[in-house]
Every structure is written in structure tokens, then in C-alpha cells.
Structure 1
Amino acid sequence: MHAFDVLGDPVRRRILELLAEREHASGEVVAVIASEFGISQAGVSQHLKVLREAGFAQVRPEGTRRVYVLDASPLRGIDDWLERFRVFWPHKLDALATEIARGKKARGELGD
């Protein structure tokens, strides 16, 4: 499965966000994802399997628990692919900064 296909799913993106914070036992991931998305333990396990098989997560047994940790390697490939598009970003980001400054000035938040 291509990295963008993996990241196209909001549940898997959320799991990666959790793993980016710190490693998590599978039960912790299930608890968060079940409460936020209303999916079963089996459904979360399938998403974790996709993340493992695509290289986004690694798992290690710890007693009776399975602990998941983020593997950022596939993200580097995405970052490399995005590099060709970064040339378009500075202008848009500069325009956004200008609009934010205008809004702050209009609200009297700037010291100018």
C-alpha cells in the first residue's frame, strides 16, 4: 500500500498522531480510537496492522501487551515527494502572515 493511501484514512492518521507523542500499548490506542471514532477493537487492530505492514509503526511484545512505536521512515519518502511543491508555499505563507497581521492591527493587538 502506498504511503498516501495509508495516510488517506483519518483513523490511521490519528493513530500516527498518538504514536508521534509517545509509544502506546495497543489497548491505549484502542481506547482512544474507539472513543473518538466509535470503532471496535478488531477495527483498530486492522488499522494497526496496515500501519505495521506499510512501515509506519513497529510493535514489540511487553509481557502480555503489544507496544506500538512510530517509525518515521515512510514519512521521509512523503517529505521527499512534497519537496517539488514547496516552491509554491512561501508566497502563500507570506500572504497568510500579511492577513494575520492586518487582523491583529484591526483589533489593536499590534504595538504599531
Structure 2
Amino acid sequence: MPGTVASEDELGRKLAALSFIERRALLEVLLSAHRDGGEGMTITALAAATETNRFTASRQLAALRDAGFVRARRDGTRRLHSIDLCGILMVDDWLLPFVDAALELPADAESPPVGVTA
């Protein structure tokens, strides 16, 4: 079921934002912090957790904020970043029919090797 052009463009931006391993690593750290009840993380803490530098973490967080996956708020002199799970829902809504179809496959079904077409 196709969405509107605007929502398709937004979905494309979200999927493009997820194409970088550094961004996915940041999201995984932020999700873990969210599940642990954290209030958010600084760029310094995120850089350390993902074994990168502050410049890279900052640049990748900006892309995740633009895509709607991360929020930032001021806490005194600190800027705390947290995951925006509502931003994840659009990707989830699009992927869900594919996941449902995959779950309907017989248990003995095999996927062709990557790069091989039927």
C-alpha cells in the first residue's frame, strides 16, 4: 500500500540515515541507555561507547536528528541525546509486511546466497 510522496521521501531519508554503520552503532547505544532508564547521553559519552571521536559522533548524530531518530536537549551546559522511538515507527511500519511474509515461509525454506537471483 503506497504512501504519499512526502511520506515516501521521509522514509527514504530514514533508510538512508540507517545505511551508515556508525549511525546504527549510536542508535544501539542510545537504545540501551533508554532501556536502562537513562536521561540521555553526551557526545563525549557516545563517542566513547562507540569507540569513535567526538567529531564523528557529532556529525553522525546530526544526521540521525535530521532523520527523526534522535532528540537532543540542554541540561545546564550539557547537551543530552536520546533515541526518538517514534521516529523508528515509520521504518517499522514499512518493514512489517516483509517481516510477516518472511515469518510465513516454511521452516525448511532457504534463501539464495547474496547476489544470486532466482
The question of a shared fold, defined as TM-score above 0.5 by the shorter chain, is answered with: yes
Deviation of 1:86 after TM superposition, in Å, equals 2.6
| CA–CA separation in structure 1 for the residues paired with 2:53 and 2:17 | 19
What residue in structure 2 maps to residue 12 of structure 1? 23
Superposed, 1:1-112 pairs within 5 Å as 2-22=13-33, 23-33=40-50, 35=51, 39-92=52-105, 94-95=107-108
Quickly say closer, same or farther: Cα 1:93–1:15, change in 2 above 3 A.
farther
Quickly say closer, same or farther: Cα 1:93–1:16, change in 2 above 3 A.
farther
**Alpha-carbon contact 1:25-1:66 (below 8 Å) kept:** yes
Higher helix share: 1
Q: TM-score scaled to structure 2, two decimals?
A: 0.68
Deviation of 1:21 after TM superposition, in Å, equals 1.3
Give the greater-gyration-radius structure (CA): 1
Instruction: Write out per-residue CA displacement over residues 36-56 of structure 1, whole angstroms, 9 at most, x where no aligned residue.
Output: xxx432121100111111111
Quote the sequence identity (%). 27
Q: TM-score scaled to structure 1, two decimals?
A: 0.71
Unpaired segments ≥5 residues, structure 2: 1-11, 34-39, 110-118
